[in-house]
Amino acid sequence: MTERMKLYDELCRVLTDYEGNGSEEPAAAGDLYDMLVKIQNLWEDVITADSSPDSEPRGVLTGWLTGAGPVEYERNGYHFTLIKVRKNADFDYLYLQKQYHGEGIERGDKFEYAGVYCRRDRLVYDSQYAIRDLVDEPDELREREAEELHKRLKAAVRKTVEYAIGNDRRNLRITELSAERELEKLERFKEYSAGEQARKAYLDSDDEEDNDAVFHFTYQCDYSPERWTEDSLLAYILDPYGYVNAETDAYIDSRQEAILSDFLESDMVAAAYAAIIENPANPVHRVKRIMRAVSASSAKTVTVTVRKDGAEFTFKAEAGQYRSDCTNTYNDWHIAAADRKEFERIFGRGIKYGPEDIIRIEYARSVLYEAVAGGEVAEDA
């Protein structure tokens, strides 16, 4: 049975189980996901297994890859000689010599590495620039470059790890941290990062200041594969699905504390987020109202009125800065030059203004934002 038919039969079984087919224990949605991941990781094997000659690279390489001896050709004034060197039963290495004059192989000139030919699927991997114009569809070669395979491996392992964890710390073997390094890291996070991340999450969310708003955490795997070695690259080419599973198992096994730490950090962010929601006097609420109000308009310039120390001043300013978090104060260099001089005359040189000082923001005769009595905020988009 071909690899393609094996995979097709397995897919049919999973779909039949998922539909129930009278069974008391039909397949779970997770079984479908596993099947899709397997298809993704084996996709190249599926579409190339038992392929006809028409599926082989077309161009100068056609036919030669499964044959013997060198191939020679002329291109852009150069004479090329391409040879195969057997690596093992599954792979040949490709090497290329380029001559500006003469024909054949020249004594004393070196052959440059050009790629890997896999005998199992009759495809070229890790192709170098010199041979990409030897096929009619060079994009296919680019998709199998070492760098692209590296990206594909990283994405597949991250997805598989995240599925295995299932955003649930109960899928880990441990329930508390023991490594001193992770404990210290967690303390630093609580002191320096949790509040900042909660603030950003709140400003980026659609939540209002109500008791139902909560911080939502989704575990994200940070796996990054090591650089390819000769052995690891060939192993991945031969069995991408098995390689991904092995990397997934190794990552989860070695990163138990680091993964649990991610969940514990999310608890700290959630607590800080809840504190923001529960405190209507927190200045971040005003910042968010300003951001939402100005973001709802297409304004490039707005008219802003501020009140500080009993003095009130209205000026023109760039709208962009009010669409993002000011953290503490806004930059006065966003104020129109003429207005900035008057701002400095009224409030003093180097004086900044913050969200609490803004009483009104207008655009095109409409009030986008207005602070009213009691510190409440009215918006009119």
* Per-residue pLDDT tens digits for 329-379: 998 889 999 999 999 999 998 899 999 999 999 999 899 999 975 554 545
Instruction: Classify residue 205 by its DSSP letter.
Output: S
pLDDT classification of 61: cutoffs 50, 70, 90: confident
The predicted pLDDT at position 92 comes to: 94
The residue with greater pLDDT, 211 or 105, is: 105
The predicted pLDDT at position 206 comes to: 81
- Condensed to tens digits (0 to 9), the pLDDT of residues 123-173 reads 999 998 878 767 767 788 889 999 999 999 999 999 999 999 999 999 999
Q: What angle do CA 374, 198, 359 make, to 5 degrees?
A: 25
The predicted pLDDT at position 66 comes to: 75
d(CA 363, CA 298): 9
Q: 289 in the Ramachandran plot: left (φ > 0), alpha (ψ -120 to 50) or beta?
A: alpha
Indicate whether 273 pLDDT > 60.
yes
The pTM (predicted TM-score) of the whole model is: 0.74
% of the chain at pLDDT higher than 70 = 78
How many CA within 13 A on the CB side of residue 319?
19
Instruction: Classify residue 300 by its DSSP letter.
Output: S
Count Cβ atoms below 10 Å from residue 12 Cβ, excluding itself.
10
Looking at every residue in the chain, the average pLDDT score rounds to 85
Is residue 308 helix, strand or coil? strand
d(CA 278, CA 264): 21
Using an 8 Å Cβ cutoff, are 94 and 82 in contact? yes
Q: 128 in the Ramachandran plot: left (φ > 0), alpha (ψ -120 to 50) or beta?
A: beta
pLDDT classification of 89: cutoffs 50, 70, 90: very high
The predicted pLDDT at position 1 comes to: 44
Indicate whether 239 pLDDT > 70.
yes
What is the arithmetic mean of pLDDT over 55-81? Answer: 71
Nearest-CA neighbor of 87 among 120, 56, 133? Answer: 120
The predicted pLDDT at position 7 comes to: 63
Using an 8 Å Cβ cutoff, are 327 and 321 in contact? no
Alpha carbon distances (Å) from 362 to 133, 286, 368: 59, 16, 5
d(CA 258, CA 181): 10
State which amino acid sits at residue 180.
Answer: E
The tokens of 340 are what? 């900035």
For helices 240-254 and 146-165, angle between their N-to-C axes, nearest 10 degrees: 50
The predicted pLDDT at position 50 comes to: 43
Strand-pair partners of 116: 93, 125
The predicted pLDDT at position 332 comes to: 87
Sheet with 91-99: list strands edge to edge: 71-75, 78-86, 91-99, 112-118, 123-125
Instruction: Classify residue 379 by its DSSP letter.
Output: E
The predicted pLDDT at position 8 comes to: 60
Alpha carbon distances (Å) from 102 to 73, 110, 125: 12, 15, 30
DSSP states of 62-129 as a string? Answer: TTGGGS-S-EEEEETTEEEEEEEEE-SSSEEEEEEEEESSSSSPPTTPPPEEEEEEETTTTEEES--G
CA torsion, ordered 104, 109, 113, 119, to nearest 10 deg: 40
Cα 111–chain centre separation: 38
